[in-house]
Amino acid sequence: MKLDTLPRFHLAEFPTPIQYLDFLTKKYQGPAIYMKRDDLTSLGMGGNKTRKLEFLIGEALEQQKDTLVTAGGIQSNHCRLTAAAARKAGLDCHLVLNGTEPEVPNGNLLLDKIFGAKVHFCDRKDRDERLFQVADELETAGKKPYVIPVGGSNSTGSVGYVSAMLELANQMNDMGFIPDAIVFATSSGGTQAGLTLGGKITGFNGEILGISIDQIKTGPDPFPPVLTQITNATAERIGSDIRMTESDFSLNCDYLGAGYAMPGDLEFNAIKDLAHHEGILLGPVYTARAMGGFIDLIQKGYFTNDQTVLFWHTGGTPELFAWADQCHRAFG
Ligand SMILES: *Cc1c(COP(=O)(O)O)cnc(C)c1O
């Protein structure tokens, strides 16, 4: 497998820890709950994009690029980590963010500014076009831009989560348990593609269940074909013969609530649960929605209490500060 020889730029210390969530397990009396702490990847407040960026930046450096250009929502964790990673790699960073510039930036947007990224604001509908426009402008100005798609979800970025699955296989070996399911937040698909492919490679037989945060974020296509496409392109990239079809993916779209980045009771209850029972923080957009969905599935009997489930924490905690008003109302 070519995975070990692909260009990779070191951004963080791995493996990330796995913890048993004793109080949460007891509270719901369902499966034994473990958590994989990718919120603790050691770069710029952590999160799942770190693993993708190791391979994306590896490729950018190999192609002798000097500027990273990417896009996302105004509170994008992906954009914040791209800004941080750019600094560690000695690259410039331009971000195309959809939304209106607030008077005082907070959360991820504040961190983008602290990392010194150049931010371009635009409407959601213009975002994809603006991304390539900014890259063109940089090229005209004599720079060498490297464009990273939304969420870093392509065949290069997803390799990060194939590698994460190999990391988990080693940890499971050391810890002496194999979860019956892995549950996590899925959005642009790169994480799920990498985990599902990595699961196949390592012979993992459990369910790899993505809780969809924003079903249609990647564009007009329905989500499962996008997942399949990214997964098969990733397999090809690492020299694996594995090919997947839509039925190889486990996807739950029942928790989309009021829409992307519109947290409600489900999310705030999950934030409260994890904070009060485990001292662990979740982000309102992704991980709280996924955890809220996971808890709801436990309560509906989707898992049995002789099972073990690993919740893969994908980060996003800086979002909390951008939703300070609602958090304050929910907890204050
Ligand atoms: C981006 C992100 C996800 C989703 O990952 P994808 O690879 O885009 O599906 C989940 N959680 C957090 C905190 C994220 O920032």
Nearest to 181 by CA among 289, 295, 34, 287: 34
Cα 126 to Cα 104: distance, rounded to the nearest angstrom: 24
Task: Give ligand 1 pocket residues (Cβ under 6 A).
Answer: 47-48, 77-78, 151, 153, 185-192, 283, 286-287, 314-316
Nearest to 162 by CA among 239, 60, 102: 239
**Could you confirm whether 188 is annotated as catalytic?**
no
Give the C-alpha distances (Å, rounded to integers) separating 160 from 26, 204, 250, 322.
33, 17, 20, 28
Cα 97 to Cα 120: distance, rounded to the nearest angstrom: 6
Cα 150 to Cα 161: distance, rounded to the nearest angstrom: 16
Nearest to 181 by CA among 209, 153, 155: 209
One fold for 3-47+155-331 and 65-143: yes
CATH of domain 65-143: 3.40.50.1100
Nearest to 315 by CA among 55, 80, 25, 110: 80
| 38: amino acid identity, one letter | D
* Ligand 1 pocket mutation, candidates 45, 77, 192, 218, criterion most atoms within 8 A of CB: 77
What is the β-pairing status of strands 207-212 and 92-98?
A: unpaired
**What residue ranges do the domains of the chain occupy?**
3-47+155-331, 65-143
Per-residue pLDDT of the chain (332 residues; tens, 9 = 90+): 789 999 999 999 999 999 999 999 999 999 999 999 999 999 999 999 999 999 999 999 999 999 999 999 999 999 999 999 999 999 999 999 999 999 999 999 999 999 999 999 999 999 999 999 999 999 999 999 999 999 999 999 999 999 999 999 999 999 998 999 999 999 999 999 999 999 999 999 999 999 999 875 445 556 788 999 999 999 999 999 999 999 999 999 999 999 999 999 999 999 999 999 999 999 999 999 999 999 999 999 999 999 999 999 999 999 999 999 999 999 87
At residue 138, the 3 state secondary structure works out as helix
Cα 61 to Cα 189: distance, rounded to the nearest angstrom: 24
> What residues are paired with 33 via a beta bridge?
309
Cα 194 to Cα 46: distance, rounded to the nearest angstrom: 18
CATH of domain 3-47+155-331: 3.40.50.1100
Model-level pTM? 0.97
Closest Cα to atom 1 of ligand 1: 151
- How many Å lie between the centroid of ligand 1 and the Cα of residue 284? 12
- How many Å lie between the centroid of ligand 1 and the Cα of residue 97? 16
* Residues 111 and 45: beta-carbon distance below 8 Å: yes
> What residues are paired with 95 via a beta bridge?
70, 119
Q: Could you tell me where the beta strands, DSSP code E, fall in 234-307?
A: 250-252
Beta carbons within 8 Å of 134's beta carbon, 6+ residues apart:
69, 94, 96, 120, 145
Active-site residue (options: 76, 153, 158, 188): 76
What is the β-pairing status of strands 67-73 and 145-147?
A: parallel
DSSP state letter for 213: S
